[in-house]
Amino acid sequence: MTKPISDIEDELVEEFDLFDDQMDKYEYIIDLGKKLKPLDARYMTDDYLVKGCQSKVWLHAYKEGDLVFFEADSNSSITKGIIAILIRVLSGQPAKEIINNPLAFIDRIKLRSHLSSQRSNGLTAMIQRIKTYAGAFVE
């Protein structure tokens, strides 16, 4: 059974609430990126590159049954951590739930407010690409 997105978001918020210092949060984001499963080299091409990111981010999506799964990689440790967070929340969910989810956890953990404008734009680009992929899988 798939865990609801809201439950996963709540878990992330609880984890980030453990950190008082912003630098500790960044370290945690980097650690999450290090745990991301390596992306198959065949997906590390321009076709899978997320446009609008300062760093290179490759994103691949596939569907199994009614669920959409995501795999990604980045050449930047902080960006890899950010995409790892998005994958944790959205991978393995039904396409319509991915598309319709407002991703309120991003504001709850104050992620965007501590990113540079370029990284914030990259976060938006990653979210848009994920939702575009999910849209392609809606039946």
**What is the per-residue pLDDT across 75-100, written as a single tens digit (0 to 9) for each?**
999 999 999 999 999 999 999 999 99
Q: Which of 36-50, 54-68, 91-105, 109-123 has the lowest mean pLDDT?
A: 109-123
Tell which residue, 33, 31, 29, 7, has the closest CA to residue 90.
Answer: 7
Average pLDDT over residues 69-76: 96
Question: Is-contact 133 36, C-beta < 8 A?
Answer: no
Burial class (CB in 10 A: 0-12, 13-18, 19+), 86: buried
Residue 116: what pLDDT? 83
Is position 53 annotated as part of the catalytic site? yes
pLDDT band at 102 (very low <50, low <70, confident <90, very high): very high
List, in order of start, the domains of the chain with CATH numbers.
Answer: 5-136 (3.90.1010.10)
Q: What is the pLDDT of residue 115?
A: 84
Confidence of residue 118 (pLDDT cuts 50, 70, 90): confident
- In sequence order, the 6+-apart residues with CB closer than 8 A to the CB of 122 are 50, 52, 53, 54, 55, 57, 79, 82
69 close to 60: Cβ distance less than 8 angstroms? no
pLDDT over 80 (residue 1): no
Quote the Cα angle for 98-125-35, to 5°. 70
What's the average model confidence in pLDDT over 114-137? 93
Q: Model's pTM, two decimal places?
A: 0.95
CB neighbours (10 Å) of residue 80?
22
Among 53, 72, 83, 99, the active-site one is 53
Residue 112 binned pLDDT confidence (cut-offs 50, 70, 90): confident
